[in-house]
Amino acid sequence: MSRRRLGAWVLAILILVSLAAVWWAGTDGPIGGVVALVRLEGTLTAGGPVRDWSSSGPGSDRIVSELVQAGRDPSVRAVVLRINSPGGSAAGAQEIALELGRLREVGKPVVASIADVGASGAYWVACGSDLVVVNPGSLTGSIGVYLELTLLEELYEKLGVDFEVFKSGPHKDMGTALRPPTDAERAILQAMVDDIFEQFVDTVAAGRSLDRDRVLELADGRLFTGRQAVDLGLADRTGNLQTAIAEAAALAGLKSYTVRELGRRHPLERLLEELQSLAGSLQTLAGALRPIPPGGLLR
Partner 1 sequence: MKGPLDLVAGALADPVPTLRQAAEEARLPLPLAIAAAALAVAGLAAMRGPIGLLWMGFGLAGLFFLAAVLQLTADLLGGRGTGRGLLAALALAQTPALLTAPVAALGLVPSPSWLGAALRAALGLWTVVLEVLAVREAHRLSTGRALAVMLLPVVALLLLALLVLGAVVWMGPGVPDLFFSSR
- Summarize as ranges the residues that interact with partner 1 (CB under 8 A): 4-5, 7-9, 11-12, 14-19, 21-23, 25-31, 266, 268-269, 272
CB closer to partner 1 out of 15 and 206:
15
CB of 217 to partner 1, least distance (A): 47
Q: Residue 278 CB, nearest distance to partner 1 (Å)?
A: 18
Which one of the listed residues 120, 129, 138, 142 is annotated catalytic?
Answer: 120
> Per the residue annotation, which of 18, 167, 172, 281 is the catalytic one?
172
Q: Does 54 participate in catalysis according to the annotation?
A: no
Q: How far is the CB of 277 from partner 1 (least distance, A)?
A: 16
Residue 3 or 290 with smaller CB distance to partner 1: 3
CB of 23 to partner 1, least distance (A): 6
Nearer to partner 1, 9 or 163 (CB): 9
| Identity of the residue, 116 or 273, whose beta carbon is nearer to partner 1 in the bound complex | 273
Q: Which is nearer to partner 1, 78 or 127 (CB)?
A: 78
How buried is residue 135: exposed, middle or buried, by Cβ count under 10 Å (0-12/13-18/19+)?
Answer: buried
**CB of 32 vs partner 1, minimal distance in Å:** 8
Catalytic positions, written as ranges: 120, 172
